[in-house]
Chains A and B, each alone.
Chain A
Amino acid sequence: MSAVPVSPPEKTSGVMAKIIGVPSAGPLLVLLAFGLIFAITNPRFLATHNLSIILQQTVIIGTLAIGQTLVILTAGIDLAVGAICVLGTIIAGKLVTSGYDPALSMAFSVLVCTAAGFAAGGLISGLRLPPFIVTLGILGILTAALRLISAGGAFPVRDEFLGWTGNTLRLGGFIVTYGVLLMFVLYALVWYLLNETKWGRHVYAIGNSPEAARLVGIPVRRHLLSVYLLAGFIYGIGAWLALGRIPNADPNALQTANLDSITAVVIGGTSLFGGRGGLIGTLIGALIVGVLRNGLTLAGIDPLWQDLVTGILVIVAVALDQLSRRKG
């Protein structure tokens, strides 16, 4: 689990330390603390197959949280994460069960998810509507539409290609699914975009101060649109990962994905006010939630306690963010 560097090897004094290093140091300590507690209380926790299971359980929320991080960095919020992802699973499932080529079906469904992100971004940047309201509206529309499309019920999706992300391979002692690898690849790519390119720099600038961004000539609205577009694409990939975990297209699935992804982002140290935080924190945040659920389950504790502890963590994380802002 130590595959997550606190800060990249290059100059720790640079922007890195400011943007990534400092905010994710706290979450990393929390992750290690929970890991230590569970490892001491239950020897089965650190078994490689258990760690593999944690990763697999983290894969969907962990992936959706990438898009959520991008949106929250611009001081927005995405309440349609889960709904867009489910949209992807149902479209891919419907097409494949109607006999279309699985790869093309999946590509089309990723495209539809991207379009959904584009629609959200268009309403937010074009009509200047609050992200909260727009994505809440899309959540409502999609939830109803998906039940209509699938006639209310879930249906099984049995397909080699759609289920591919659930296939496993051995890496050393670990059994990893292709989905987990895909998630890490997405984290690496989007991390690069956020930290090493102008595009990412401008995401932070807009989250910090849209007015300052506009004054230095950043096309703020177009940039916001691109953020929601990319987020939609990532939710589409999330749909593929979801089909790999459970070969089922269910309009009622992933109902807690909104809160879970926001939880991962917030616990990971990204500020709900935008402009601060980063992807490494989000990955750690998603792992904290995964470790917590797994550890408490192993300890035989009622699942309700998992939600309770997660809820406390969210409030603590937001409170710390508020406090640090008040000081600054």
Chain B
Amino acid sequence: MKTPAPLQPIPSDSAGIVLEARNVVKRYGHMTALDGVDFELRAGEILAVVGDNGAGKSTLIKALTGAVHPDGGEILLDGEPVHFKGPLDARHRGIETVYQDLAVAPALDIASNLFLGRELRRPGIMGSVFRRLDKKRMRQEAERSMAELKFRLPSITNAVEALSGGQRQGVAVARAALFARKLVIMDEPTAALGVRETGQVLELIRAIRDRGLPVVLISHNMPNVFELADRIHIMRLGRRAAVVSPKTHSMGDVVAIMTGATRVEEARDPGV
């Protein structure tokens, strides 16, 4: 393991920042989970968020998705300050989240799962008065978005339970991609999957980025992070220890920063 000192953070260009957190603080009683953390997601990138257990990764993500309310600091979406009332609020603003556990309804088919909670109704009186679902259009849209993401599935009318674990998670990821207008947050999306299935999901995440949607990827899996991420945000003790590029830093460097073995002098991006 090489230890190049001192590590230089990647300079930031303030243009094209989709989601930003400034000096966000969150305390649980005496415990400070977030101690003035900064965060910055740029347009069109995959930003990995890594950190040891208890470093504040999941609290940061919860703050960004509206699941917890920060005690201090601010969160900006497209440069505008936002105060999410809850996860639904964040979602209405175009932020979709994919969870580690497979959030799908197994007996429903792929199209139904993709549109679950956001079903389309038929046009005209059938939809407005009789509340009839537009199953055909949902199937077509589902097929189209799967084709766009180059995600191969047996048939859109298959029950999700007939799919492999990777394909199921693929459905959850595709659902997020289908509805996210600003960004997608993935919380350990491959933690429950095997090696080959993980590969399928990583492909999908890359396809989402390539369509122009930025992705925040929370992961423990360093090889996955280095395979996918454009930048790596490293959490330590409730703060951002550094943001590094996988091109200039090794896994060893990242782990060293995570654990505090290597100090980064000024990890915060210089700002505007």
Q: Which of B100-140 contact A (CB under 8 A)?
A: 101-109, 111-112, 116-119, 121, 130-133, 135, 139
Contact B103–A215 (Cβ < 8 Å):
yes
Q: Complex Cα distance A266/B64, Å?
A: 45
Contact B103–A211 (Cβ < 8 Å):
yes
For residue B162, CB closer than 8 A to chain A, the reply is yes
Q: Complex Cα distance A18/B135, Å?
A: 14
- With CB as the reference atom, state the residue of chain A lying closest to B132: A196
For residue B12, CB closer than 8 A to chain A, the reply is no
Main secondary structure of the interface of B (DSSP, over half): loop
Q: Which of B77-114 contact A (CB under 8 A)?
A: 88, 91, 99, 101-109, 111-112
- The verdict on A201 contacting B108 (CB below 8 Å), with A217-B117, A218-B117 known, is yes
Q: Which of B124-164 contact A (CB under 8 A)?
A: 130-133, 135, 139, 155, 157, 159, 161-162
- With CB as the reference atom, state the residue of chain A lying closest to B97: A215
Contact A15–B108 (Cβ < 8 Å):
yes
Contact A208–B103 (Cβ < 8 Å):
no
- With CB as the reference atom, state the residue of chain B lying closest to A277: B107
Contact B105–A18 (Cβ < 8 Å):
no
Contact B105–A14 (Cβ < 8 Å):
no
- With CB as the reference atom, state the residue of chain B lying closest to A15: B109
Report, as a range, how many residues of chain A touch the other chain. 20 to 34
Chain A residues, Cβ within 8 Å of B109 = 14-15, 18
For residue A204, CB closer than 8 A to chain B, the reply is yes
Q: Complex Cα distance A69/B164, Å?
A: 30
Chain A residues, Cβ within 8 Å of B132 = 196-197
Chain A proximity of B226: nearest CB distance (Å): 29
Chain A proximity of B178: nearest CB distance (Å): 12
Q: Complex Cα distance A276/B88, Å?
A: 28
Q: Which of A200-223 contact B (CB under 8 A)?
A: 201-202, 204-205, 208-209, 211-213, 215-218
Chain B residues, Cβ within 8 Å of A14 = 109, 135, 139, 157
For residue A198, CB closer than 8 A to chain B, the reply is yes
- The verdict on A198 contacting B119 (CB below 8 Å), with A15-B108, A217-B88 known, is yes
Contact B157–A13 (Cβ < 8 Å):
yes
Contact B105–A209 (Cβ < 8 Å):
yes
Chain A residues, Cβ within 8 Å of B130 = 196
For residue A199, CB closer than 8 A to chain B, the reply is yes
Q: Complex Cα distance A18/B110, Å?
A: 11
- With CB as the reference atom, state the residue of chain B lying closest to A217: B117
> Which one of A13, A17, A212, A217 contacts B91 once the chains associate, using CB atoms below 8 Å?
A217
Q: Which of B26-51 contact A (CB under 8 A)?
A: none
- With CB as the reference atom, state the residue of chain B lying closest to A193: B131
Chain A proximity of B140: nearest CB distance (Å): 12
Contact B108–A204 (Cβ < 8 Å):
yes
Contact A275–B135 (Cβ < 8 Å):
no
Q: Complex Cα distance A120/B39, Å?
A: 47
- The verdict on A211 contacting B131 (CB below 8 Å), with A218-B116, A275-B107 known, is no
Contact A209–B104 (Cβ < 8 Å):
yes
Contact A197–B107 (Cβ < 8 Å):
no
- The verdict on A209 contacting B106 (CB below 8 Å), with A197-B132, A217-B117, A218-B116 known, is yes
Q: Complex Cα distance A215/B155, Å?
A: 24
Chain B residues, Cβ within 8 Å of A213 = 105, 116-117
Chain B proximity of A325: nearest CB distance (Å): 9
Chain A residues, Cβ within 8 Å of B111 = 15
Q: Which B positions have Cβ atoms within 8 angstroms of A?
A: 88, 91, 99, 101-109, 111-112, 116-119, 121, 130-133, 135, 139, 155, 157, 159, 161-162, 175
Q: Which A positions have Cβ atoms within 8 angstroms of B?
A: 13-15, 17-19, 196-199, 201-202, 204-205, 208-209, 211-213, 215-218, 275-276, 328
Q: What 10 pairs between A and B have smallest CB-CB spacing?
A: A216-B117, A208-B105, A215-B103, A205-B105, A212-B103, A217-B117, A198-B119, A197-B131, A216-B116, A276-B107
Q: Can you name 14 A-B residue pairings with CB atoms under 8 Å?
A: A14-B139, A15-B109, A15-B135, A15-B157, A18-B108, A19-B107, A201-B116, A201-B133, A204-B108, A208-B105, A211-B101, A216-B116, A216-B118, A276-B107
